[in-house]
Structure 1
Amino acid sequence: MIGRSEEYAKMFQLEGQLWWYRSLHERVFMTLQGAFGRRRDIRILDAGCGTGGMLDFLRRQGYTHLRGIDGSADAVAFCHERGFPVTFINLTNLADFEPETQYDAIICNDVFCYFTETDLPPLLSALADRLKPRGILVSNNNAFKAFEGQHDIAVGIRRRFVLADFEQLMPQAGLQIQHATYWSFLLSPLILLMRQWQRLQLRLGWQKPEEAQSDVYLPVAWLNETLYRIAQTEQKLLRRTPFGSSLFIIVDSH
Structure 2
Amino acid sequence: MIGRSEEYEKMFRIEQQLWWYRILHESVGRALCQQFGNRRDMVILDAGCGTGGMLDFLRRQGYTDLRGVDGSADAVAFCHERGLNASLLDLNDLAGYAPDQTYDAIVCNDVFCYFDDPALVRLLTELRRRLRPGGVLISNNNAFDVFRGQHDLAVGSTRRFVRADLERLFPMAGLRLRYTTYWSLLLSPLILLVRQWQRLQLRLGWRSPDEPTSDVYLPGNLVNETLYRIAHTEQKLISRTPFGSSLFSVSDPT
TM-score band, normalised by shorter chain? over 0.9
Runs of 4+ in 1 over 6 A off after TM superposition: none
Alignment of 1:59-138 (within 5 A): 59-138=59-138
> Helix, strand or coil for the counterpart of 1:182?
strand
CA distance in 1, matches of 2:84, 2:26: 20
Alignment of 1:120-199 (within 5 A): 120-199=120-199
**Superposed displacement of residue 206, structure 1:** 1.2
> Helix, strand or coil for the counterpart of 2:176?
strand
AA matched with 1:165:
D
**Residues 66 and 85 in structure 2, CA contact (< 8 A), matched pair in contact too:** no
CA distance in 2, matches of 1:65, 1:205: 48
AA matched with 2:168:
Q
Aligned to 2:34: 34
**Superposed displacement of residue 118, structure 1:** 2.6
**Superposed displacement of residue 224, structure 1:** 0.1
> Helix, strand or coil for the counterpart of 1:186?
coil
**Superposed displacement of residue 98, structure 1:** 1.3
- For these two proteins, the number of residue pairs brought into alignment is 254
**Residues 178 and 249 in structure 2, CA contact (< 8 A), matched pair in contact too:** yes
Aligned to 2:9: 9
> Helix, strand or coil for the counterpart of 2:83?
coil
**Superposed displacement of residue 247, structure 1:** 0.1
CA distance in 2, matches of 1:115, 1:50: 16
**Superposed displacement of residue 211, structure 1:** 2.2
**Superposed displacement of residue 151, structure 1:** 0.2
**Superposed displacement of residue 212, structure 1:** 1.5
CA distance in 2, matches of 1:30, 1:74: 29
AA matched with 1:110:
D
The yes-or-no answer on 1:249 pairing with 2:249 is yes
Unaligned runs of 5+ in 1: none
Alignment of 1:224-235 (within 5 A): 224-235=224-235
CA offsets, 1:172-206, max 9 Å, x none?
Answer: 10000000000011100110011111111111111
**Residues 46 and 55 in structure 2, CA contact (< 8 A), matched pair in contact too:** yes
CA distance in 2, matches of 1:64, 1:26: 17
CA distance in 1, matches of 2:100, 2:118: 25
Aligned to 1:213: 213
Aligned to 1:44: 44
AA matched with 1:17:
Q
**Superposed displacement of residue 99, structure 1:** 1.7
> Helix, strand or coil for the counterpart of 1:119?
helix
CA distance in 2, matches of 1:14, 1:113: 22
> Helix, strand or coil for the counterpart of 2:23?
helix
Compute the TM-score of the two structures, normalised by the length of structure 2: 0.99
State the percentage of identical aligned residues. Answer: 68
CA distance in 1, matches of 2:134, 2:176: 12
